[in-house]
């Protein structure tokens, strides 16, 4: 066994790291279950902490939040028929009918157990696949890396948007924002308007806080009284531990959901909601009792829950090995790593092997604490649902402001955050996804650097991108994702026209 694995395990098992994972899980469950708060918002809330904590501790905290946020989303989906996170939308289809029949505890127990099993499967994928992929990625040269990042961006645009053009535009806007500041090759100041604050560019975490938090805070103006309806149903929870019969029923959905979730997690942009619905659909097709789906089937709860939690480990694979985030949460994890001077990518396993394995084992602990805290604290945790939004939303607002300020101890970043909030509102009005913009901000500098290095090395010969095997492979995948997206959009338009007729 590699010494890095042993060191990583001992790093992840230290008291401070374990406590951070447990705290992250607790916050994740709370944030995930509150409708109107996403996991990204939860991460934004704890973001300032990551600036002062040790890297392994801050990452452990964020991983706990990520894993448990997925599970917490199912609580409100089951109890209120309102998914706490988009990934829990499919869980509500069967979870809420079961809760309505007076079996809320059973539904929650199934959801928690399936989440744990899905998460555990994705941990195994992460543990075995990530080091192998990192080894392959070490062979990549600049043209390959450019094409890989390019593919990452195109596939995110394909998945994230109903309209490919809007997805691509979102990414291009993100790339344009990244060009503000010093040019990565020569250090020339670009688009800085003689502002000292712009020399080092716009920090993507500032953008992220604005893009996610401001639209969410304004949304909550619309439904301020929802918390009042929770109390009666939340109180009606009996035994939560799943019975043996339910565990047997969960075999099929977990076998289907966990691999689907892990695979889709690896694909940048696909994410939890898609995995949950695909898993639900396949389990329904393979189930002996498909007619029960939609009316409180335990399999209908386990399928999406195992899939959406399996996404978490899957999404960490490209993040750790290639430096490509699969979703906004892994993008924030990259940001948190960069703040501590750790660059995710294939070299992470070579230069910081102990840290890389520590991260993997922290993910393992996150899944363990997720199930433990969820089972033990469920009855108390659901009481959070009655916190009035009149307190919750202003608290989030000031935490976002402090988070933006604390990044560089600078009021300028607070204003930039607000500007991005307004941009987020405008993009929502246009039905333009914000995820491509965000990920373009994370990947933009790498994209430019690899493009320019490749061109300099090849003396401005663009065929270099087609003569390298890996590069050609990624470009083909990028083209396929674009064509698939166009085809899907065309089909959707045809469907819309038929409906109009």
Q: What residue ranges bind other proteins (CB under 8 A)?
A: 48-49, 51-52, 162-163, 165-166, 168-169, 172-173, 175-176, 179, 183, 185-186, 188, 190-191, 217-222, 224-225, 388-391, 393-395, 397-399, 401-402, 405-406, 409, 411, 414-415, 418, 429-432, 448, 451-452, 455-456, 459-460, 489, 492-493, 496
Q: With CA atoms as reference, report the closest residue to 213 among 434, 481, 452.
A: 434
* Cβ 226 to other proteins shortest distance, Å: 11
Using DSSP's 3-state secondary structure scheme, residue 187 falls into: coil
- Alpha-carbon distance of 364 to 344, in angstroms, equals 19
Q: With CA atoms as reference, report the closest residue to 133 among 286, 360, 291.
A: 360
Collect all residues with Cβ–Cβ distance below 8 Å to 342 and sequence separation of at least 6: 55, 348, 352, 355
Contact 242, 110 (CB under 8 A): yes
By beta-carbon proximity to other proteins, the closer residue of 245 and 499 is: 499
* Cβ 446 to other proteins shortest distance, Å: 12
Burial environment of residue 139 by CB neighbours within 10 A (0 to 12, 13 to 18, 19 or more): exposed
What's the chain's Rg over C-alpha atoms?
22
* Cβ 396 to other proteins shortest distance, Å: 10
* Chain center to CA of 378: 24
* Cβ 21 to other proteins shortest distance, Å: 18
By beta-carbon proximity to other proteins, the closer residue of 89 and 330 is: 89
By beta-carbon proximity to other proteins, the closer residue of 189 and 255 is: 189
* Cβ 444 to other proteins shortest distance, Å: 9
* Cβ 173 to other proteins shortest distance, Å: 8
Instruction: Please calculate the CA angle 258-261-264 and round it to the nearest 5 degrees.
Output: 145
Q: Are strands 181-182 and 189-190 parallel, antiparallel or unpaired?
A: antiparallel
The CB density around residue 452, as the number of other CB atoms within 10 Å, is 16
* Cβ 469 to other proteins shortest distance, Å: 24
By beta-carbon proximity to other proteins, the closer residue of 232 and 500 is: 500
By beta-carbon proximity to other proteins, the closer residue of 102 and 388 is: 388
Q: With CA atoms as reference, report the closest residue to 28 among 67, 88, 69.
A: 69
* Cβ 405 to other proteins shortest distance, Å: 7
* Cβ 277 to other proteins shortest distance, Å: 18
* Cβ 456 to other proteins shortest distance, Å: 6
* Cβ 496 to other proteins shortest distance, Å: 5
Total residues found in the chain within this entry: 501
By beta-carbon proximity to other proteins, the closer residue of 172 and 247 is: 172
* Cβ 416 to other proteins shortest distance, Å: 11
* Cβ 490 to other proteins shortest distance, Å: 9
Task: List, in sequence order, the alpha helices (H) in 81-103.
Answer: 89-98
By beta-carbon proximity to other proteins, the closer residue of 288 and 500 is: 500
User: CA separation (Å) from 104 to 35, 82, 242, 294, 445?
Assistant: 18, 14, 12, 15, 48
By beta-carbon proximity to other proteins, the closer residue of 186 and 245 is: 186
Using DSSP's 3-state secondary structure scheme, residue 189 falls into: strand
Phi/psi of residue 190, nearest 5 degrees: -125, 135
By beta-carbon proximity to other proteins, the closer residue of 327 and 413 is: 413
Residue in the structure block whose two tokens are 């829990």: 88
By beta-carbon proximity to other proteins, the closer residue of 7 and 183 is: 183
DSSP string spanning 297-341?
-HHHHHHHHHHHHHHHHHHHHHHHHHS--SSHHHHHHHHHHHHTT
By beta-carbon proximity to other proteins, the closer residue of 350 and 430 is: 430
By beta-carbon proximity to other proteins, the closer residue of 2 and 494 is: 494
- Alpha-carbon distance of 88 to 71, in angstroms, equals 8
Collect all residues with Cβ–Cβ distance below 8 Å to 10 and sequence separation of at least 6: none
- What are the helix and strand counts (H, E) for the chain? 22, 2
- Alpha-carbon distance of 170 to 164, in angstroms, equals 10
- Alpha-carbon distance of 31 to 28, in angstroms, equals 5
By beta-carbon proximity to other proteins, the closer residue of 176 and 252 is: 176
């Amino acid at each position: 066994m590699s010494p890095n694995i042993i060191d990583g395990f001992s790093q992840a098992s230290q008291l401070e790291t374990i406590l951070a994972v447990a705290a992250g899980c607790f916050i994740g469950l709370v944030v995930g279950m509150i409708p109107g708060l996403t996991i990204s918002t939860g991460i934004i809330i704890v973001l300032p902490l990551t600036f002062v904590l040790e890297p392994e501790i801050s990452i452990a905290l964020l991983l706990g939040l990520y894993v448990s946020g997925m599970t917490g989303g199912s609580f409100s989906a089951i109890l209120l028929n309102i998914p706490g996170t988009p990934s829990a939308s499919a869980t509500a289809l069967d979870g809420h009918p079961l809760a309505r029949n007076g079996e809320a505890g059973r539904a929650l127990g199934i959801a928690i157990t399936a989440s744990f099993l899905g998460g555990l499967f994705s941990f195994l994928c992460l543990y075995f696949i990530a080091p192998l992929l990192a080894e392959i990625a070490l062979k990549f040269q600049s043209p390959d890396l450019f094409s890989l990042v390019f593919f990452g961006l195109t596939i995110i645009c394909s998945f994230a948007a109903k309209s490919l053009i809007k997805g691509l535009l979102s990414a291009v806007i993100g790339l344009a924002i990244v060009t503000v500041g010093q040019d990565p090759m020569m250090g020339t100041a670009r688009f800085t308007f003689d502002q000292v604050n712009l020399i080092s560019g716009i920090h993507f975490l500032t953008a992220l806080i604005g893009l996610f938090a401001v639209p969410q805070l304004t949304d909550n103006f619309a439904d301020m009284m929802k918390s009042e309806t929770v109390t009666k149903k939340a109180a009606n929870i009996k035994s939560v531990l799943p019975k043996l019969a339910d565990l047997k029923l969960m075999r099929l959905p977990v076998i289907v959901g966990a691999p689907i979730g892990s695979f889709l997690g690896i694909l940048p942009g696909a994410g939890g909601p898609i995995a949950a619905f695909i898993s639900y659909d396949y389990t329904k097709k393979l189930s002996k009792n498909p007619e029960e789906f939609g009316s409180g089937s335990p399999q209908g709860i386990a399928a999406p829950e195992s899939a959406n939690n399996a996404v978490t480990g899957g999404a960490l694979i490209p993040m750790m090995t290639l430096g490509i985030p699969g979703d906004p949460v892994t993008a924030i994890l990259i940001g948190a790593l960069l703040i501590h001077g750790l660059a995710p990518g294939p070299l992470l396993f070579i230069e910081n092997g102990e840290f890389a394995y520590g991260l993997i084992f922290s993910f393992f602990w996150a899944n363990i604490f997720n199930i433990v805290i969820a089972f033990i604290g469920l009855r108390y945790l659901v009481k959070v649902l009655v916190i009035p939004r009149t307190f919750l939303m202003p608290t989030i607002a000031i935490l976002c402001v402090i988070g933006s300020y604390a990044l560089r101890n600078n009021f300028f970043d607070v204003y930039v955050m607000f500007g991005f909030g307004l941009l987020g509102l405008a993009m929502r009005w246009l039905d333009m996804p914000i995820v491509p913009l965000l990920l373009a901000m994370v990947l933009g500098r790498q994209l430019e650097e690899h493009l320019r290095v490749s061109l300099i090395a090849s003396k401005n010969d663009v065929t270099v991108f087609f003569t390298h095997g890996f590069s050609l492979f990624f470009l083909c995948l990028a083209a396929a994702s674009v064509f698939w997206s166009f085809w899907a959009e065309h089909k959707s338009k045809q469907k819309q026209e038929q409906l109009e007729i």
